[in-house]
Amino acid sequence: MARLITPRADDAARWYTDVVTQAKLADYSPVKGCMVIRPRGYALWENMQKVLDGMFKATGHENAYFPLFIPKSFLAKEAEHVEGFAKECAIVTHTRLKATGEPGAGAVVPDPDSRLEEELIIRPTSETIIYAMYAKWIQSYRDLPLLYNQWANIVRWEMRTRLFLRTTEFLWQEGHTAHATHAEAEEEALKILGIYKRFSEEWMAVPVLHGKKTPKEKFAGADTTYCIEALMQDGKALQAGTSHDLGQNFAKAFDVKYQTEAGGWEFVWNTSWGVTTRLIGAIIMSHGDDNGPIMPPRLAPLQAVLVPIWKSDADNAKIREAAAAIEKTLLAAGVRFKCDLRENVNPGFKYNEWELAGVPLRLECGPKDVEKGAVMAVRRTTREKESIPVGALATRVPALLEEIQAGMLAAAAARTQAMTRPVDGWSAFTDEIEKGGFLLAHHCGQTPCEVTIQDETKATVRVVTADGPKESGVCVRCGNPSSRRVHFARAY
C-alpha cells in the first residue's frame, strides 16, 4: 500500500494535513479558508459537545441561539473590540441577486437596489448582539445571574488557514453571562476555566497549563483573559480555550443595567468563554502518529473494532458466531464497537484502515482464538497485545479503554514536562526557542518588550500561570526587573 501519510519527522505540517484528510476527518472546500467536517470528524465533535454541554448544564447554564448577523454599528460600540475584529470580518452588503444574461459566474450579480442601509457582519464572536439583548431582558437583581451558552458557527476571515486549527468558518460554543458583582463574574470565569481544563485532560487526554494571558494577548474587549494552553508533539503551543472577565466594558457600551435590591441602578459584570473545533486539531497533534490519529477512548466515536481472521469456510462460520456474541456483549457493556466482517478485503487492509481512523482498540479473532474462547486485543497507542477470554470481555475491554486513555494523558504530560525548561539570557532563549517547547523565562511584563520578542523569535507569552512560583530575576530580553517566570513558546 502506498504511504498515505507523510512521516511526521519529514514534515510535521504535511503530516498533520495528511492525517486529517486521509482519516476523513475533514476536507478542503471550494470556499477559500472553509473546511468541510466529514462524518468521522463530526462524530468526534458531537461526542465532545455532549460532554461539554453536560458540564455547562450541570453548572446552571442554559442554551440559546442568537443571530448570525451583527449590525456594523454594534461592533463599533466597544472600541477595542471593533479594532480587534475589523480586519477579519465577512461583510454582507446586498440581499438579492440579479440576472445579467451573461454566461457563467457573471450570470448573476448583487442587485444594486438591494444594498443594505447598514452592513451586517457575520459574527466573529457574539458579545455585541448578545449584550444588546441582555439590556432588554435584565431589569432587576432578580434576573441575575444570567448564564447562557450557544453552539454556533463563527466567521473570522483568515489569510493562512489550516484544517481545524485556523479556518475562516469554524464551530464553537460561546458562553455569555451577566452578574451583579465583579467577584461573581470572576468566579464564573474561573469555574469555566476549570471545566475546560478538566475536559481537556480527562476527556481529550491533553494536559494543559492554565492561567492568564498578558495584556498583549488578551481578548479584544476583556479586562482579563484566562486560558488553557497545551503543547503539541512538535513542540508548538496551542491555545485550547479561553474564558474572559469582560468587566463592565460591554455593559457600558450596551447599557446593560440592573436595579439593585436597594433600588439603585448598576451596570452588570460580564464573562464570555469558548472552545472551538480547533480542539479536534489538538487531539490529532497531541496523540497522532505516522499511521493516523489516535482517538482518546472516552471521546472516540468507535472505541473498539473486531477484525476476524478468516481461514476456511468451516472456521469462518464459527468466527461469525463468536463475533456476533462478542458484539452483543460489548454493546451491552456500553462499548462503542463494531465488527468488520467484510470479505473482500484482507485483515491487514482492515488493520490499516482502522488505525487510520484512530480506533483505540482492535480485537482480532481467528480460529485459534475461537478454540481458546478468547480474542487478541491490540492497543492502537503502544501496539501492546493481550489475549482476553470471551467471558472477561465485558469488564476487561472497558478497563483496557480506560488504561489506554490514562496512558495517552500520561504520555502527553511526560512529553510536555520534558519540553518545558527554564531559560536565562537572550542568547540561550533564541537557541532554545528553535527546539520548540515551553521556555520558562523571566519577563518584564511590558507589551513593547513582548512585541519585540515576538518579532525577533515568533515566540509569545502563552500563559502566566496562577500557581507558578514567585522568583525575582531580570527580563530575558530587556533586563528590567521581573518577579516571576512565564511560559514562552511558538504557537499555532
Residues that bind a second copy (CB under 8 A): 27, 29-31, 34-39, 42-43, 45-46, 62-76, 82, 86-99, 104-105, 107-110, 118-122, 129, 132-133, 136-137, 148, 152-153, 155, 157, 168-169, 171
Residue (45 or 492) nearer to a second copy, CB: 45
How many angstroms separate the CA atoms of 402 and 223, rounded? 40
Residue (82 or 208) nearer to a second copy, CB: 82
How many angstroms separate the CA atoms of 147 and 57, rounded? 10
Minimum Å gap between C-beta 54 and a second copy is 12
* Cell numbers placing 320: 461469525
> How far apart, in Å, are the Cα atoms of 127 and each of 148, 167, 180, 270, 278?
12, 20, 18, 10, 20
Residue (173 or 214) nearer to a second copy, CB: 173
- Residue 440: strand pairing partners: 422, 487
Residue (128 or 271) nearer to a second copy, CB: 128
Which DSSP string do the residues of 300-335 spell out, in sequence order? -SS-EEEEE---SHHHHHHHHHHHHHHHHHHHHTT-
How many angstroms separate the CA atoms of 387 and 370, rounded? 11
Q: Give the number of other Cβ atoms within 10 Å of residue 89's Cβ.
A: 20
Minimum Å gap between C-beta 110 and a second copy is 5
Minimum Å gap between C-beta 161 and a second copy is 12
Minimum Å gap between C-beta 200 and a second copy is 22
Minimum Å gap between C-beta 49 and a second copy is 11
Name residue 465's amino acid.
Answer: T
Minimum Å gap between C-beta 214 and a second copy is 25
Bridge pairing between strands 62-63 and 146-155: parallel
Residue (87 or 470) nearer to a second copy, CB: 87
Minimum Å gap between C-beta 53 and a second copy is 9
HSE, CB side, 13 Å, CA atoms: give it for residue 18: 18
Residue (126 or 225) nearer to a second copy, CB: 126
- Residue 309: strand pairing partners: none
Decide if 38 contacts 25 (C-beta within 8 A). yes
Residue (249 or 460) nearer to a second copy, CB: 249
How many angstroms separate the CA atoms of 414 and 412, rounded? 5
Minimum Å gap between C-beta 83 and a second copy is 8
Residue (32 or 385) nearer to a second copy, CB: 32
HSE, CB side, 13 Å, CA atoms: give it for residue 301: 16
Q: Give the number of other Cβ atoms within 10 Å of residue 191's Cβ.
A: 16
Minimum Å gap between C-beta 32 and a second copy is 9
Q: Give the number of other Cβ atoms within 10 Å of residue 62's Cβ.
A: 11
Residue (156 or 487) nearer to a second copy, CB: 156
